[in-house]
Amino acid sequence: MSAGPEVLAHLQRLAVPYEVLPCDPALADTAQFCAAYGVPVEESANAILVASRKPEGHNAVCVVLAHTRLDVNGVVRKKLGVRKVSFAAAELTQELTGQEIGGVTIFGLPSDLPVWLDSRIMRCDSVIVGAGSRSAKIRIDPSVLVDLPGFEVVDDLATEPPPV
């Protein structure tokens, strides 16, 4: 298995350059992928479905670099306009995106699901995101994402880790 068929179809419709990187499914989680394939965490991005709890039914996919932390209780909560929000459970992620945890991507999503990109991603020459399955990743130039329908660059969607 490689990238999900709906993911590849979406990428082809967008007509943007991308590269599919095969991945051992056992190494699909970001830390393991980066270590096994020599990818800096600063060039790897996580797509995370967030879901409101009060009230329910408000969702977004947030994309942050792997070395940063999604500001779910600050920026995300305010942007969704809800009182409580959390990372979506694996079952809800599968239901809403049709994608597996460890492979969630920003491509092939329902058109009514917003995609918010942390502005730090835009500083990268390329980023690696999921491919809809645990068997592949996608490398893409983040500059092509800016004008895609439903995508929005958000300042400080994530926070930097404290210095070591």
Mean pLDDT computed over 38-47? 94
Say what percent of the chain tops pLDDT 90. 75
- Tell me whether the omega of the peptide bond preceding residue 55 falls within 30 degrees of 0, making it cis: yes
Q: Quickly state the pLDDT bin for 102 (edges 50, 70, 90).
A: confident
The chain-wide mean pLDDT, for the chain, equals 92
Mean pLDDT computed over 121-132? 95
Q: Which residue carries 């039914």 as its tokens?
A: 57
Q: Give every CB contact of residue 60 below 8 A, 6+ residues apart in sequence.
A: 49, 50, 76, 79, 80, 113, 114, 115, 116
Query: Would you say residue 6 has pLDDT above 70?
Result: yes
The fold of the 5-148 domain, in CATH, is: YbaK protein (3.90.960)
R_g of the chain, CA atoms, integer Å: 15
Amino acid 23: pLDDT: 93
Distance (Å) of CA 127 to CA 68, 71, 130, 158 = 14, 20, 10, 16
pTM of the model: 0.92
Domain ranges in the chain are 5-148
Lowest mean pLDDT among 20-29, 37-46, 94-103: 94-103
Token pair for residue 92?
Answer: 């809800």
For residue 119, count other CB atoms closer than 10 A to its CB: 12
Q: Which residue carries 């809403």 as its tokens?
A: 96
Mean pLDDT computed over 118-137? 95
Amino acid 100: pLDDT: 80
Query: Would you say residue 83 has pLDDT above 60?
Result: yes
Tell which residue, 122, 91, 96, 105, has the closest CA to residue 9.
105
Mean pLDDT computed over 64-71? 95
Cα(98)–Cα(133) distance, integer angstroms: 9
DSSP summary character for residue 24: -
Amino acid 56: pLDDT: 84
Q: Quickly state the pLDDT bin for 2 (edges 50, 70, 90).
A: confident
Query: Would you say residue 17 has pLDDT above 70?
Result: yes
